[in-house]
Structure 1
């Protein structure tokens, strides 16, 4: 976390998209540079070794040595992928789980049999070949465009004073280097994550079952909430409306100056308050504006009814998938409820962006701080709801404030 309550981004791409100016003063451009430089060095060494092993293996394929070398070349993707997973943490703090399972038996033969049967082994080999034949060259080109070309352009007026426009171009390219390096590093890391991430059949069965169970529970909860909303709307609410009408008719038969007329009037007032509370509850259980008009309109309605002034800055292009909108809506309302209960704030900011295939929502307040997501408050349930969609929630709330609740939900474009 950074000073002033700023939340630390989890990826270089995300940091550049969310904080394009403050990004320059962060460590992310340097991490992206290190990621690409280490990739060039590792790729050069891997390329030399792989070409040598394959060449010698082909030349000696008629003997056992050649077969062993070709087998070793096929398995070179394993250490290459392990290094890639380590390097990925430079631009993606979450990293990737190792998809390989330990062999059921001990010994080299069992290890080879297990690895050769795993689809992850062959994906890693494909990634290594793609890296050596394409990605490595792009790494070199991007680094050259960021440093070598600007240096040549800036030095051009030394030999030819009339070449000063090239110096201006060189300075502009050098100033853009943090963005070009990070953009390519983020794209490269995304490709590596797609290839290296474990598939469903490679995930720990227990962990997979827990995730699926949590998703089923959330679906059941949503269905039950819709049922309760329908029962309240069609049952209790209609009965209360009928009762209000009956009380109104009773007042017509009772003298206006009688105590009974006053008591019926008081009962009508209490009934009207109960109806208002019930309608508010029904609207919160299954907000119609969310289903009809989307997340932005629903959050605008919530902000208009909130007890503390809310400054909205929502830039979301179009409708999002229904599970994402639902999770985001209830996450924000829960965060705002915590502000109203505990923060003693007099100003709240709600910021929403859709960057790099991630929906990012920030709830900031100028209250007393001290919020703790691990203390069993509503923030815990909020984090669980986001986790079902592989989302994350992080809280920055030093004593004395301010408080920032950052929520991220994967939400690919299109």
Structure 2
């Protein structure tokens, strides 16, 4: 950004050429449109509340009165656009100052190993183009040219609804703190700000201009004899008229600074209420959190679809193939080469079927979908080559599918690490649910010394848990024992409701955005 052109009114007020710049007129236009907006808003709100109060007798007006809360949304959107009148944004690196060193690209250093090109003896210079026009620099790229096309409205603090439809939109907006701040800003504009802006414009702009026009008014409306200035005092004669005009010039200069200060204060208040400094960041964080939750749900749904397709498709075909090979082996002469080939084919088909069942179980075990996390953990403990004790403080409720899947695979991977790396003789899995958190602990009596940097899968486990706003911690001193603890925030799923993950961080960000 060119330092010679102010970024906003605050910087413009500190410049010596403020009175000769467009900033005083921008400030006046900003305050004038704010006064008009406030007056129109006051009339509209009064009419809306009146109609709603009258129709409330037949219950039709109650929704109208409730919808008054949303009146701040369009007003705030307009205010965010009006902020661009007195605040200036510049794209990074735009309009470099050619008078400063480093504004242009520095010439590259010659390569010591490069050989100069030899001139071509047969080359002829190109004839000049008679229609070519000399290059004229674009005045819009001048360093002092205002970058009006680069001004943009302030970012919105609102987040996108989680689903399409009016109900989701209303639910999201009514839970947002930004909606209530914008409603308060609308009431403040309609009841207090616009009269103050109108009074300031009258005192700082209209009155000095009327004083400056005193000589003209005296010569025209006053007939050259006398004229009243601001309906306060009477001016007779041209010397007094020109004195009043000179005083008006001084008051106009002072009023220009007053208008700039008022516009800057008004813009700061507006930005604080309808476009807080971190509003865009908070909205983006909230939206990223929500999109991450949707991706987790979509990923788990895709895993279940793949598991279902393998279970209902490829597995059934392998079962049918195994049965056909078994029937063919019964019809083949015993002891012959055909019987031996069919026997080996049956064994290979059986092995492929067992591997496919294990693969299906690893993608998404059916016991997890049918009976929940507690039964799935018990099943994983039974499949572990190391003896595993399973204990839960109380029966676990059904949790969101993404949480159950992540917790199950964390336990399964942890038990696999115990069997491969720890040298433990026994392991234990404990868990409980309380205060909106699922807590699981996997411990073993092995040699310890688990290090995520050695590729034991701990980093992948931590990433999987962090997607759900959870936390994974490992305590593994050399010599053991090793304790892996997982905490995932979640809420129980209704028995007949969909298993959709919702983290408290998402809810809080939506409520406070």
TM-score of the aligned structures, taking structure 2 as reference length: 0.40
- More helix by percentage: 1
Name the larger-Rg structure: 2
TM-score of the aligned structures, taking structure 1 as reference length: 0.49
